[in-house]
Each structure stands twice: as C-alpha cells, then as structure tokens.
Chain A
Amino acid sequence: MAKYETIIGLEVHVQLKTESKLFCGCSTEFGALPNTHTCPICTGMPGVLPVVNRKAVEYAVKSALALNCEVATRSVFARKNYFYPDLPKNYQISQYEEPLAQNGYLEIRVDGGARKVGIARINLEEDAGKLLHYIGSREIDGSLVDFNRCGIPLLEIVSTPDIKSPEEAYSYLTTLKTMLRYLEVSDCDMEKGSLRCDANVSLRLAGQKELGVKTEVKNMNSFKAIEKALEYEVKRQIGAIEGKERIIQETRLWDEKMERTYPMRSKEEAHDYRYFPEPDLVPLVVDERWLEEVRKTIPELPDMRRQRFIKEYGLSEYDAGVLTAEKALAEYFEEVAELYTNPKAVGNWVMVELLGRLNAANKDIRESPVSPPQLAELLGLIEAGTISGKIAKTIFQEMFDTGKSAKAIVEEKKLVQITDEKEIGKIIEEVVRENPGAVEEYRKGKENALGHLVGQVMRKSQGRANPQLVNRMLKERLGRSI
C-alpha cells in the first residue's frame, strides 16, 4: 500500500450556453470585437440593476439534477466583494450560504471500475471581463479591459475532496465535460474559456485521519496540464514532507513551459470577500413543478448510453466509450445502425474512416459531409457485393470530399465490382502473358509472386475486380501449365 494518500478537490467553472448574459440581455457570443457586447448593466454604470436570466437557471438546475444533487427550493444570490479592473461593480454576484444545489455526485471510471466522486455544491454566478497585458506578443504599457465576457453565466461546480489521484482528476474532468455537453448547457472548451478549473491538493499518511496542509493550484489550460500539475504537486509535497519541511498553505500557479508550480505573490491571497445577500435580487425559487419540467429535458446520459450500446449493439467497452463520448456522435451512430444492421461494421467505419477524416479537417460530427443514410447506403453496397471493401474506402473519401452519395459516385466512376468470371478471366490472361517472370517464380514456389500478379489484375481492372475471385481464379490458372 502507498505510504501517502492523495486528496484532491476540484473547483470547475463552466460558462452556460445561454443566448444572453446572466443579468442583462447582452449577447454571450464568443470572439466578438472587444467591448461590443456590453450595456450599462454589465459594465456597472451608476443606477443599473440585475435581472436574472431564466434560461441560465434552467441550465443550472438541469446540470444539478444530472449530477444527482439536491436542488434548493430557495437559494440566494450574494455579493462577493473585491476590487479588480475586470470586475466593473467591484463585486461579483454569486451565491454563498444558500447555493442552488448541494450533495450530488459524479460517477467516474478508474482502474477498470467505477467510483462516485462527491459534488459538494453548485452555484450560479456571473463571469468577469478579460484583461490584456499584451497585444500579440508586444507587452503594452498598462492593461486593456474587454467587458464582453463580463456577466456571462457561470456554473461553479465544487467537488468534495475525495479525488484520489491526478489520474482520477483527469477522468473526473473528462466525465464532467461529456456530461455537460450531453445536456447542451455548456461547450466545456478550455481553449475558449468555457471551462476553467482550479485544484486543491494535500497529502496525508495512509491511515491518518487528519487532512494535510493543502495547496491551491491555478493557471492550468488543459485537462492534461491539470493532471501534470497535480502530479508535480504531489511529488513536491512528498519531497517537502520527507525533507521535514513545512508545507505552506498557499496558492501556486502552474508554469506550462517549465512544467512546475510556483507560489503566487502572497498579497493576492488575503481576501475577505465580505459576502452578504444581494439586496437587488429576490431569493431564487425553484418549485416542484419547474423542477420536474426541467428533469424531463434531460436526455439519456452518457453512462447509460454507453452501457446500452454495449448491451444492444454488442460493442466492446472501448468502442462504446468512443462512440458515446459526444451525444451527436452517438446519435449519428444509432441513425446509421438503424439503417444498416451490423453495428460492428458501422462502429468501425464511423470510428476509423469518418472520425479520422473529421479530426484531420477539424470538423465536428455535426458538420460531417457524409450523412448517416449515405454511410448506410455505402455499407449496403459492400454487403451486396456491388463494390469491394477496398474500393469502398476510395468511394468514401470522395463522398467526404464532395458530399455525393455512394451510388452516384459508383455510377459516375463506373466502380461497380467485377464479378463476372469471364471478364476476370480475360484480364488474368493478359496479366499472365505480360508477367512471365512472376508466373515462373510462383510455379517455383514463391508465394509472394501471386500477390504481385493479383496486384496487376487489380490495377488493370481499376481495382474493381473482386479480390477473392481474382485470387481463386489466378491460383487455378497458374496451377495449370501454360
């Protein structure tokens, strides 16, 4: 058994995909020119007041239910007070003593098994703006503030500190991301800032009851970075403990380039947020009726879907996992599988041929140029023997590039498989005549020479000859003497 027990807690912030911000009607669209999605409310002008976005609450409740939480019938917004240029009111409207939801869990898969990680609380709050200290790579004298992001609804999801390893942390994050994307409440894209994560980590001797001193780690820009940062922290803390050094409770930043954490300047840490209930908003009430309405909008969740894929389609754990990682992908698969009832084949084609090309073209499954019926048609043609499996791959590339259907391409390019033995026989005669050397080699016992000859036949038939037939017929032909 390991000497030390690792205790990790994760605090995740996700931006909710509502059309407008949490407390005003400004657009939440990503990537707009700076300060073009602002209004007096989200820039903290004198005299403005917040009004709660109902959709944001709906998405928050939906997430809380999917994460098995108790949703509070009554929750209260609170002001979190601190000064910073990206926070126009110099307070953030968040939730404190009475959050939207508590006491849930997320089931993650580790070491071939499954474990529930507790979710302590979920609350709704507004995002801050963005500070720029550089334009491109040029450092500017001062800083610029963009308030487009200010006021976008955030869901803060705080886990209980019972994640036991950096690997589990990674799994927690990917599982959470998949879940929230299934609910279509957030894109959870760390690159675009719609998911941010801070981690707390401490160690204790195995079997010890008291918790060790914890450090907070920030500034990780990907799930991998989080895993690496936590691995580094665990190593560092072990080193400190063994070296009889005290571990300071502090906030440390992850340095991606140097692959280490370093302490944040301590001045930023002494924060008394002076929380008090937001007097401009009445308590948020989520009654039974609304709760049930929202519950009905929850789709089949990733875990359930994965298990169903294994059972219904006989897919492997791995394949089911890949195909259910995104709801849109799972839906695509099922649409094809309904039309062409060989799930293993469908799975292979989707995972290998389709996903491969989509990833290379940086496209999402929803942007697939090949529709589910089109893929099903192609598979049907292979099964019917109209085309060979090999040619099908070429056809698929063309389908992907042009969006045309398989049948259209086959007709256009005259790619129907040749199964007529008379026709194949003619080509075989030609090849045998033109390749006496290879024929000789084969008759002498070199098996490889057959492959060369098969290749020649395939070439002459533009790949359309049925390979199995060619093989059999060539063997027969070569078996005879000239």
Chain B
Amino acid sequence: MELCELTAHELLEKLEKREVSSEDIVRSVFERIGQVENRLGSFVTLTEEEAFRQARDIDKVAIKGKLPGALAGIPVAIKDNICIKNVKTTCSSHILENFISPYEATVVKRLREAGAVFIGKTNMDEFAMGSSTENSYFGITRNPWDLNHIPGGSSGGSAVAVASDETILAIGSDTGGSIRQPAACCGVVGLKPTYGRVSRYGLVAFASSLDQIGPFGKDVEDVALLMNVIAAHDERDSTSVNLDVPDYSKSLTENIKGIKIGVPKEYFIKGLDGEVEKAVKEAIELLQDLGAITVEISLPHTEYGVAVYYLIAPSEASANLARYDGVRYGYRSLEIGDLLDEYEKSRGEGFGPEVKRRIMLGTYALSRGYYDAYYLKAQKVRTLIKKDFDGAFEKVDAIITPTAPTPAFKIGEKVDDPLQMYLSDIFTISANLASIPGISIPCGFSKKGLPIGLQLMARPFDEEVLIRIAYAYEKSVDWYKRKPKL
C-alpha cells in the first residue's frame, strides 16, 4: 500500500517507529496528486515547496527524539476560505483570486503547532455558497467515485482530496451541511462541531451565526485526532466558548451499549431516495445489534429548516460580503468612473451568480419594511427548531438520520434550479440552526457505486458521543476500507 493511502493514525505509528519520514509521506501525497488531480480538480493552490520544507523541519526534530506534535509530519489540506499566512485565500472567487492573506486562522496556527504539513488550499463553492462545488470560479471538482457526479459542497475539494488519497487529512467549513454533505457524497468522515467549539478567527465569514470549521478524515479515529488539535477556546473569537476540550480519542471505545438513539420521523419521508433509506435503516439495525436503543422521536419544525436557513444565512452573508469592494484588496474592475461605478462593477464582475443571488436575498430580507416579516421571523422559528432538539435530547443521547436525501447527483443536474439545490441541505441544515454537532459517516453504496452517508447529531458540546457511536459502527462494517478506482 502507498503511504498516501494510509490514515493519519497509521502514519503516526510509522513515524514514531522511524519506519517512514514525513518527507516520504509528503512525496507519496504529491505523487498521488500528480496522478489524479487533473481529473479531480480538488485544489486551487498547491504549496508543494513549503510542504517539503515543513516536512524536512519536522524530520530534523523527530530524529532527535519524540514527534514534535500530535500531527507531526501529517499532510493536511485546507479549504480555501481559511487563511494561511502568505498563501492565497481565494474562497474560489474571482473577487479574491489574487488575495494573499497577511495573517492566519487560529485553527491553522494550532495545526502548525501540532506539526501538520500544509499541502494546499482546496476548491469549494464560491464563498461556501453551494452544495455541489459547481459554483467555483476555478472550475468544478469531480467525485472520485464517478467523475460525472458532484462531490457535494461547499467543501467539495477537501472531501475529494481525502477520498482520493491526495491528502491524509483535510479541514473544511460547515454552515448548512458543507462538511457533512460532501463527506457523504465522497464516502469519508466529516464532522461539524458545536457552534463555538472551534475558533472562526481566520475563516472567511459566510453566515456568522452558523459557520464552523471542522475535520475530514478517512476514518473516525483520524477525525478525533484532528478535533483534539483544532477544538479550543480562542480569545480572538468572541463567539468561541470557554469550555475544556476533552480527549476525543477516549471515545474510540466501540462500546455503545445502552446509548439511546433517536430516529426522527420527519427525516424519513417521501422524496428520500430508496437506496439511501435502505442503507440508513440497515445501519440503525446494526447499531441496535451493538446494544444501542433506538427511539422514535419527532422534530416537528424540521420542514421550516430550509426556509429559515435561506433567510438567516443570506442576510448575514449580505453584510459579511459587503467588504469585498475592490477598495483595499481583491478584484477591482478596470473600467470605472465614479465611486458607485467602482462598487457596482467590481462586485458585479467579481462575484459569481449564486453569491449575487444570496446577497440580494439577504439585503432584501433585512430591508426596512421586510426585516420583521423575514429576518426576525426566521430567527424566531430558529428558536423553535432548537427547542425541538432540546426536547428530543431529554429522551435520547443522539439522533440518526440520512446525511443527504440522495447520493451525489450528476454534474449540471441542479445547477439551473437553485431551489432544488437548496433542498439537498434539508437534513443537515437543522444542526447549524440549533448550534449542535453533527457527523457524517459512510454507511453503504448505491447500485451505481456512489457512497451513502448517515448522519448523527448530539447535544451541544457532546462530540464525544458522536465519535463513540460512529466508531463503534465503523468497526462493524468495512465501508471505510473501500477506495475509489482512479
């Protein structure tokens, strides 16, 4: 097996034993990138030279004694809306095409201190707005299981890089499902932490009250390793919570006897793909065999999730994206007359259609005369959605659902129907609205060979139970051992 095909925990063992060097791992990963990247399009920027430099630095220290960090020498890919100092951060947008960040995200700093090796910035839907990575200015990213299908979005590049062994680990962001849904589409593990668990400082904001940075991994153990490094209180993020971070690897026990898992009836409805439903129901049975107790629950306000999300998120985004005006950095249109011209042309030319759509939606929803009926009302219904979960967690410890209503759809299938596109987030959106954690793990394949994902959600700050259940399930199946043929 090639080094790039292994998991982080396997590689750390080899590094510890001096069986391999970090440089070996980085070489293997870049060889792989050389083989498949032109077919996949996962990356916007590759930082090969810098990666080798970091790897050699780690190796120099590792020779002398212990590994210098929990992820020392492990390649990590970073979604292109998270800032690395002196590297381009484009958010897959024309308006930030040449923007080089003068500072870096707290999460990146923590990964760096843990010895991670940054190999590049991954492709995404522009400004994280999308569910298919078809909205990137730099072109689409393809699903490695079937190149004619989407990889999910908006963290498509990160999911694909992990699934195709272009990287060992990856970081993405999730506002309405942008980690979990691509994880499901690509057959990898993706986790959205509780809002406030991981610092947002350095994450280019889309919807401030919904965004979270989270890990992608080839298996649950790798995701737990990443969480140990990135979860922490951050003074630079006023919405970051000051709570102790547990050792998530302690949840890798395989014991879930007696855990109560809720099955919400609102998530198993008409419109749910038959194969997805079957795979998830089989997974539920397996969990029961492992000792978990399943309980039927109701989350009655589920149906309002998409509407609430598509009012709150664009509203916050309309303000968050106002700063992209070509004045201080970023794209500035060349033919401009007066100030208004400069704003209109730079933004009009710099932003893609989906971004402009959402900015207009958000601006409208916040306007005088409409604020009460739209933005304010949406926030009130959001509270009701949260209350659904609070009530459910009095009865159960976790909630199980499909991650997405269908496996990955075809490239181009929904691009002309934004509303249809929005509905692909229907199962993941509520977790962001309720500020609870969610994880997606592979639970099967469609007849066409496309991955199917199941989602688990838990109480705020109880990522541990998610990891526990996911790990126990994972160890009883072998979906995670399968790799796409490339």
List chain A positions with a Cβ less than 8 A from chain B.
40, 43-52, 79, 81, 83, 85, 88-91, 145, 272, 274-276, 279-282
Q: Are B102's CB and A45's CB within 8 A?
A: yes
Q: Are B203's CB and A47's CB within 8 A?
A: yes
Give 10 pairs: A residue, B residue, CB < 8 Å, sorted on A: A46-B96, A46-B204, A46-B323, A47-B105, A47-B203, A81-B322, A85-B325, A91-B322, A274-B368, A279-B208
**B145 CB, nearest partner CB in chain A, Å:** 32
Give residues 302-351 of B contacting A (CB, 8 Å): 315-316, 318-319, 322-325, 327-329, 339, 343
Give the distance in Å from the alpha carbon of A85 to the alpha carbon of B325 in the complex: 9
User: Which among A47, A83, A88 is the interface contact of B205 at CB below 8 angstroms?
Assistant: A47
Bitwise interface map of B from 184 to 218 toward A, beta carbon under 8 Å scored 1, else 0: 00000000000000001111110111000000000
Complex contacts, B375 vs chain A, CB 8 Å:
276
Q: Are A46's CB and B366's CB within 8 A?
A: no
A49-B200, A85-B327, A276-B371 known; A79 vs B319 contact (CB < 8 Å):
yes
A48 nearest in chain B by CB position: B201
The answer, yes or no, to whether B91 is at the interface (CB within 8 Å) is yes
User: Which among A46, A50, A83, A276 is the interface contact of B315 at CB below 8 angstroms?
Assistant: A276
Nearest 7 CB-CB pairs, A to B?
A90-B322, A279-B208, A274-B366, A279-B209, A46-B204, A44-B323, A272-B368
Q: Are A51's CB and B367's CB within 8 A?
A: no
Q: Are B208's CB and A90's CB within 8 A?
A: no
**B317 CB, nearest partner CB in chain A, Å:** 11
Q: Are B319's CB and A91's CB within 8 A?
A: yes
Q: Determine chain A's interface SS by DSSP, over half rule.
A: loop
Complex contacts, A47 vs chain B, CB 8 Å:
81-83, 89, 101, 105, 201-205
B202 nearest in chain A by CB position: A47
Q: Are B204's CB and A52's CB within 8 A?
A: no
Give the distance in Å from the alpha carbon of A276 to the alpha carbon of B379 in the complex: 11
The answer, yes or no, to whether B235 is at the interface (CB within 8 Å) is yes
B91 nearest in chain A by CB position: A46
Extra pairs beyond A47-B81, A47-B82, A279-B209 (13, CB < 8 Å):
A44-B328, A46-B91, A47-B89, A47-B105, A48-B201, A85-B325, A89-B323, A272-B368, A274-B371, A276-B319, A279-B207, A279-B239, A281-B238
**A55 CB, nearest partner CB in chain B, Å:** 16
Give residues 86-112 of B contacting A (CB, 8 Å): 89, 91, 96, 99, 101-103, 105
B340 nearest in chain A by CB position: A83
A46-B204, A47-B203, A88-B328 known; A52 vs B238 contact (CB < 8 Å):
yes
The answer, yes or no, to whether B13 is at the interface (CB within 8 Å) is no
Complex contacts, B207 vs chain A, CB 8 Å:
279
User: Which among A145, A276, A279 is the interface contact of B366 at CB below 8 angstroms?
Assistant: A276
A43 nearest in chain B by CB position: B328
Bitwise interface map of B from 231 to 253 toward A, beta carbon under 8 Å scored 1, else 0: 00001111100000000000000
User: Which among A40, A51, A81, A83 is the interface contact of B325 at CB below 8 angstroms?
Assistant: A83
Complex contacts, B45 vs chain A, CB 8 Å:
none
A24 nearest in chain B by CB position: B236
Q: Are B322's CB and A280's CB within 8 A?
A: no
Complex contacts, A90 vs chain B, CB 8 Å:
319, 322-323, 325
Q: Are B322's CB and A51's CB within 8 A?
A: no
Give the distance in Å from the alpha carbon of A85 to the alpha carbon of B103 in the complex: 22
**A46 CB, nearest partner CB in chain B, Å:** 4
Complex contacts, A88 vs chain B, CB 8 Å:
323, 327-328
User: Which among B101, B237, B319, B371 is the interface contact of A45 at CB below 8 angstroms?
Assistant: B101
Complex contacts, B315 vs chain A, CB 8 Å:
276
Q: Are B83's CB and A272's CB within 8 A?
A: no
The answer, yes or no, to whether B255 is at the interface (CB within 8 Å) is no
**A48 CB, nearest partner CB in chain B, Å:** 7
A273 nearest in chain B by CB position: B368
A35 nearest in chain B by CB position: B328
The answer, yes or no, to whether B288 is at the interface (CB within 8 Å) is no
Complex contacts, B81 vs chain A, CB 8 Å:
47
B329 nearest in chain A by CB position: A45
B203 nearest in chain A by CB position: A47
A83-B343, A88-B323 known; A274 vs B367 contact (CB < 8 Å):
yes
Q: Are A85's CB and B339's CB within 8 A?
A: yes
Complex contacts, A274 vs chain B, CB 8 Å:
318-319, 363, 366-368, 371
**B177 CB, nearest partner CB in chain A, Å:** 19
Give the distance in Å from the alpha carbon of A46 to the alpha carbon of B236 in the complex: 14
Q: Are A46's CB and B89's CB within 8 A?
A: yes
**B94 CB, nearest partner CB in chain A, Å:** 14
Complex contacts, B238 vs chain A, CB 8 Å:
49-52, 280-282
Give the distance in Å from the alpha carbon of A282 to the alpha carbon of B196 in the complex: 11
Complex contacts, B339 vs chain A, CB 8 Å:
85
Give residues 154-187 of B contacting A (CB, 8 Å): none
Give the distance in Å from the alpha carbon of A202 to the alpha carbon of B96 in the complex: 48
User: Which among B96, B201, B322, B363 is the interface contact of A49 at CB below 8 angstroms?
Assistant: B201
Q: Are A145's CB and B235's CB within 8 A?
A: no
Q: Are A45's CB and B103's CB within 8 A?
A: yes
User: Which among B99, B327, B343, B368 is the interface contact of A46 at CB below 8 angstroms?
Assistant: B99
Interface core residue of A44, A51, A279 (most chain B CB under 10 Å): A279
**B287 CB, nearest partner CB in chain A, Å:** 36
A39 nearest in chain B by CB position: B103
**B297 CB, nearest partner CB in chain A, Å:** 29
Bitwise interface map of B from 55 to 91 toward A, beta carbon under 8 Å scored 1, else 0: 0000000000000000000000000011100000101
Complex contacts, A276 vs chain B, CB 8 Å:
315-316, 319, 366, 371, 375
**B318 CB, nearest partner CB in chain A, Å:** 8
**A53 CB, nearest partner CB in chain B, Å:** 12
